[in-house]
Amino acid sequence: MDKIPDKNILLFKSCLVSTEYPGIESSTKYIFDKLNIDYIIDHEQSCCTGLGHYSDVFDQFSTTLIAARNFNLAKKINKKNIVAMCATCYAINKKSSEILNENDDLRDEINEIFNECGFDSYKKDSINTENNILHVVDILFDKRKEISKKIKLDLSNIKIATHHACHYCKVSYDNILDGSRNPILLDEIVKSCGIDTIGWYNEKRSTCGAGFRQRFVNKDLSLEVTEKKLLALNDQNVDILIHMCPNCHMQFDRYQPYISKKLNIELKTVHLNITQFIALILGADPYKIVGIQTHTIPIEPLIEKMNTDNNKSKVNDKIENSQNKISI
């Protein structure tokens, strides 16, 4: 991947973010504004089809056609760097751009449809798969030192683990910032904020268990995977599991009370997207920006554990020490 862009960005809207955890979007915008990142949200952008595609409702052609329309929109408004808040949007757009740039016959077929509808044709390589399609975590990692200078909360008494989305780590892993065997990208972003995560733990590489339609048609199997991860986190007394995909976030946050009741065990971990976490420690309003009221697991007890900037010098010392350890 070439230099990570901080301008000409189309912040790609996600259906799951909008309907389940809108605080992810408002937190992302809050952070981007703090960092003076040039971005836009365009409401003409359509869904990536991810939920339908991975549930075998949308075939690859339909998904690629819709992606081509979104790519043309990004080019038209001169925001061709497409940054996803959802790992599925990221994976869908990566795959679709590869197909459009490499499959001449399919591209011609899509352009015939565009011509009939009065749309501009998609031109080969107008969106570069590697350099123009990114996830928000790519931006956050690139800007981690700038973020570290704006921290307002001391997290020394908070225990954090990370969950790296499979659609980021395992679909187009040739051009991601991190590896798929032991992903630490989120850990490094958190570390730059002045606190170490627990690092490796049992089930770290496991999926969330959602499997799109699997949570409905094979619910027991789906929740068995989710349960194993939640128990591993409970064994470590983890306060926060940091996410980068709303589907993973939903699987853990919505089903944790169900699993807790089934096992008759108190599961204490709360769930935050990486953008919500950073927005919080930058001082964002928990309700108006971070949107904690949309969560199933209450976030208020966690916020009470976070210290205000009375210990700002202590925070800065932690940040300076952690930056010296950043390895990626």
Q: What is the DSSP string of 149-167?
A: TT---B-TT--EEE---HH
Give me 77's structure tokens.
Answer: 């408004």
- Say whether 2 sits in a helix, a strand or coil: coil
Q: What is the dihedral of CA 164, 284, 198, 214, to 10 degrees?
A: -30
**pLDDT for position 181:** 64
**For the range 276-279, what are the long-range contacts, defined as Cβ-Cβ under 8 Å and sequence gap of 24 or more?**
276/21, 276/23, 276/24, 276/27, 277/190, 277/240, 277/242, 278/27, 278/31, 278/140, 278/147, 278/189, 278/193, 279/26, 279/27, 279/30, 279/31
**pLDDT for position 317:** 47
Beta bridge partners of 270: 240
Q: How far apart are CA 275 and CA 267, in angstroms?
A: 23
Nearest to 270 by CA among 289, 235, 309, 243: 243
Q: How far apart are CA 52 and CA 301, in angstroms?
A: 36
213 neighbors 133 (Cβ within 8 angstroms): no
For residue 258, CA distances in Å to 40, 84, 296 come to 38, 30, 11
**pLDDT for position 319:** 38
Low-confidence ranges of the chain (pLDDT < 70): 1-2, 171-181, 307-328
**pLDDT for position 3:** 87
Q: How far apart are CA 73 and CA 127, in angstroms?
A: 11
Q: How far apart are CA 48 and CA 63, in angstroms?
A: 7
Q: H or E segment at 169?
A: helix 166-169
**pLDDT for position 169:** 83
The DSSP secondary-structure symbol of 198 reads: -
Give me 171's structure tokens.
Answer: 């679909």
Give me 201's structure tokens.
Answer: 């733990």
